[in-house]
Chains A and B, each alone.
Chain A
Amino acid sequence: MSDSTTVSIKNQNKSAASSLLKKNIRKFMNNKLALFGLIVVVIMTVACVVGMIVGVDYNTPNLTALKTPPGGEHILGTDTIGRDLWARVLYGGCYSIFIGVFCAVMSSVIGAILGAISGYFGGKIDQLIIRISEIFQAFPQLVLVMMLVAIVNKRGLSNLLVIFVLTGWMTTFRMVRNEFMSLKGETYVKVCEAFGMKKSRIMFNQILPNVMSPIIVSTTTNVAFFILQEAALSFIGLGVADSTPTWGNILNAAKSVSVVTNQWWVWVFPGLAISLFVLAINFLGDGLRDVLDAKQQ
C-alpha cells in the first residue's frame, strides 16, 4: 500500500515533471551563433580524436616531398622536413584541446572549491585564501613557466599543465567567492540552516548548483584562453617538447622568415585551426552565458 503511494509522486508524474534543461536547450538552439560554435567545436574535436585513434602518421618525414604545397597526396601539404601537415594538425589538435580542457576544468574545480569555502565561511579563512590567490596572481605566467622549465630542466606537457592550473584558478575563485557571499544570504540557505543541515551539505548541495552556470561559462572561455596560452608558449619554444605536436608547436616550425613568405601553408593551417577553434569556443561560451544566466531570464 505504502509502496504504491511511493511510486505515485516520483514516477507517475514524470509527464507533469517539467525540466529546466529542455527550456535551456530550446533557448540554446535559437541562438544561431552559439549553435555554430558548438558544431565547430564538436566537429574539430571529433576529427582530432578520430585522427589520433586511427593513428595518422604525423612523424615520419616524406623525404621525397619536402615543402609540398597543399593538394595531391598531402591535402594540407608537408612541412620543412616533409611531415604531413594534415596529420600533424589533427594530432596536434588532440594535445591542444586536451591541454585547454584539462587546465580549464582543473582550475575551475580548484577555484570553485576554494571560492566556496572562502565565500561561505568568510572571516579569517576568507582573508587567508584571498591573500594566497593574490600572491599567485602577482606572478607572470611566462616567468613561472621559464622558472619551472629551468628547475625541472626539461620541457614537457606536465610542466605546462601544472603551471596553467596553478596560475589559472584565481578568476574562477573570485567569481565563485562573490557568488557565494551573496547567495549565502538567500532565504533557502537560511532554511537549510534552520533544519540543522551540515555546512558542507549546504555549500555543495544547495549553493553550488546555483553557481554552476557561471562556472560552466567561464570554464568554456578558459579552454580557449589556455589553448592560446599554449600556442604562444610553444611558439617561443617554452611549451611542450618538440616531439609532441601541438598547434603551437607546429607554428613554431614556421618561425623563419623564408617559411613565412614561401611556405604559407605551414603556418596558415595550424593558425587557422587555432583561430577557428578559439572563436567557436567563445561563441559557445557567449551562448551558454545567455542561456544559463538566471538574471536574464
Chain B
Amino acid sequence: MSENKEVIFRIKNLKTWFPITKGAFKKVVGNVKAVDGVGLDIYKGETLGIVGESGCGKSTFGKTVMMLEKPTDGQVEFNFGGEFKDITKFTKDEMFEFRKKVQMVFQDPYSALNPQKKIYTSFEEPLKVHGVKTEAEREKIMQQVLKMVNIQPDYLMRYPHEFSGGQRQRLCIARALEVMPEVLICDEPVSALDVSIQAQVLNLMKYIQRDMKLTYLFIAHDLSVVQYMADRIMVMYLGKVVEVADSKALYEKPMHPYTKALLSAIPVPDIHTTKKRQILEGEVPSPINKPAGCAFHNRCPQCMEICKTKDPDMIRDQGGEHMVACHLYSGGKDQ
C-alpha cells in the first residue's frame, strides 16, 4: 500500500441495534446489539477483511455501511471525490448516487439472481434504473463486465438455474460491477461454493480489484480465505472490533486472545504441522445479553479481574497500524 493513504470510508462509533419488542404495544424489551460501536477508517484501494463467527455482526456491519440497514447511532462518512459526507443523513437522491459508488456481492449466489428472469433482464434492470438509456449502451457495458468475469455474452439469454454456483457468483460480481462502483462489499462471497470453485472466484476478484482499482470490504468466517484476500483484517466478536491489523501481522503476531484461538482452531491441510490446538471453552454468548466488561471474558483463557467489569478500549500499537481491544495490553500506552 502507498504511504499517503486516502480514506474512502470514515466510520465512527457505528451502532446497529435491532429492538426486540413484546406484547401488543410493541414495548421494547431489549436490543440485539449486532454492531456495537465500531470505529474505523477504510482506505482507498485496500481490501479490508472482516472475520468473526456467526452472529458477531460482520454481515450487519457490511449492510450498515451500505445503508441496507439503518444504523442506530454513529456516522459513516463517505469520500465523494475528496469531500466527506455522512451517508446516514442522506436524502433519497443522494442515496441514489451513493448506490452507484458502493455495491455488494452477497453470500448466496443461488438466490441472488431472480429465478423467473433471464440473466439478461437481471443485468439490464440496474442499468435502466441508473439512466443508461439506449439498449446499445447497456449491452456494451454488459459485455464489458462479462468479459471481466470470463462468461460468454450468449449465456445472458439463459435462466439462473442453468448455471452452477461458481458461475452464478461470477454473474453476481459482474452485475455489481455494471455501475462502475468504487467500493465492493463482499459478504461471504465464496462460502456457498465448492472448494475447487472457491479459488477461481477468489483469484478473479483479485484480478478485478487490480483492474478497476476497487476497494473491497471482504466479509467471511473463514480466516484463511480472508487472509488470502485482505491487506488488513478486522476481527469482530459480538458486535465489537477486537483486533485490527495488517493481514500478515495478524497471522504472525496475533495479540487478542480471541484472534489467537480463532487462528488455532482452523484445521490445516498438512499432516506434518505439530500445532497445538487451543480449544475455546463454551459458546458465543447471545448478542442480547452480552456479558459485562469484555464480551469475550467468559471464554478467555487469560481472563483477569478487570475484564469482568470494564470494557477494554482500542489500543494502538506499532505506529497505530495494529489495534487491539484487550486489557492485557493496556499496561502500555492508553489510546
Q: Measuring CB to CB, which residues of chain A are less than 8 angstroms from any residue of chain B?
A: 2-3, 5-6, 8-10, 12-14, 16-18, 20, 186-188, 190-198, 201, 205-206, 209-210, 212, 294
Query: 25 A–B contact pairs at CB < 8 A?
Result: A2-B136, A5-B139, A10-B135, A13-B154, A13-B156, A13-B157, A16-B154, A18-B157, A18-B158, A18-B159, A18-B162, A187-B106, A188-B114, A188-B122, A191-B112, A191-B172, A191-B175, A193-B68, A194-B68, A194-B103, A195-B103, A195-B125, A196-B95, A206-B117, A210-B116
In the complex, B335 has a CB within 8 A of chain A: no
Q: How far is the CB of B295 from chain A (nearest CB, A)?
A: 28
A9 touches B156 (CB 8 A): yes
**Nearest B-chain residue to A195, judged by Cβ:** B126
Contacts of B113 in A (CB 8 A): 188
Q: How far is the CB of A26 from chain B (nearest CB, A)?
A: 15
Please give the distance in Å from B150's CB to the nearest CB on chain A.
Answer: 16
Question: A201 CA to B117 CA in the complex, in Å?
Answer: 14
| Known contacts A16-B158, A195-B99: A6-B129 contact under CB 8 Å | no
How many A-B residue contacts, CB cutoff 8 Å? 101
Q: Mark B63-86, 1 if CB is under 8 A from A, else 0.
A: 000101000000000000000000
Residue on A nearest B126 in the bound complex, by CB: A195
Q: Do B66 and A188 have beta carbons less than 8 Å apart?
A: no
B130 in contact (CB, < 8 A): yes
What is the 8 Å Cβ interface bit string for chain B, positions 106-134, against chain A (1 contact, 0 not)?
11100111111110101001100110000
Number of chain B interface residues as a range:
35 or more
Roughly how many angstroms separate A12 CA and B95 CA in the complex, as a whole number? 38
Cβ-defined partner of A196 (8 Å) among B96, B139, B153:
B96
Majority SS of interface residues in chain B? helix
A197 to B158, CA, bound (A): 23
State the B residues within 8 Å of A (CB): 66, 68, 95-96, 99-100, 103-104, 106-108, 111-118, 120, 122, 125-126, 129-130, 135-136, 139-140, 142-143, 153-159, 162, 172, 175-176, 179
Chain B's closest residue to A6 (CB) is B136
A205 x B125 contact (CB < 8 A): yes
Task: Tell me the nearest residue of chain A to B109, going by C-beta.
Answer: A187
Known contacts A9-B120, A205-B125; A16 and B157 CB within 8 A of each other: yes
User: Smallest CB–CB gap between B69 and chain A, Å?
Assistant: 11
Q: How far is the CA of A194 from the CA of B112 in the complex (A)?
A: 12
Residues B66 and A194 in contact, CB atoms below 8 Å apart: yes
Q: Are B135 and A6 neighbours in the complex by a CB distance under 8 Å?
A: yes
A212 vs chain B, min Cβ distance (A)? 8
- Contact of A209 with B116 in the complex, beta carbons under 8 Å: yes
Q: A9-B142, A191-B106 are in contact. Are A294 and B136 (CB under 8 A)?
A: no
B112 and A188 contact, CB distance less than 8 A: yes
Smallest distance from the beta carbon of B63 to chain A beta carbons, Å?
8
The answer to whether B153 and A8 have CB atoms under 8 Å apart is yes
Least Cβ–Cβ distance between A5 and chain B, in angstroms:
6
List the 3 closest pairs (A to B, CB-CB), nearest first: A196-B99, A17-B157, A187-B112
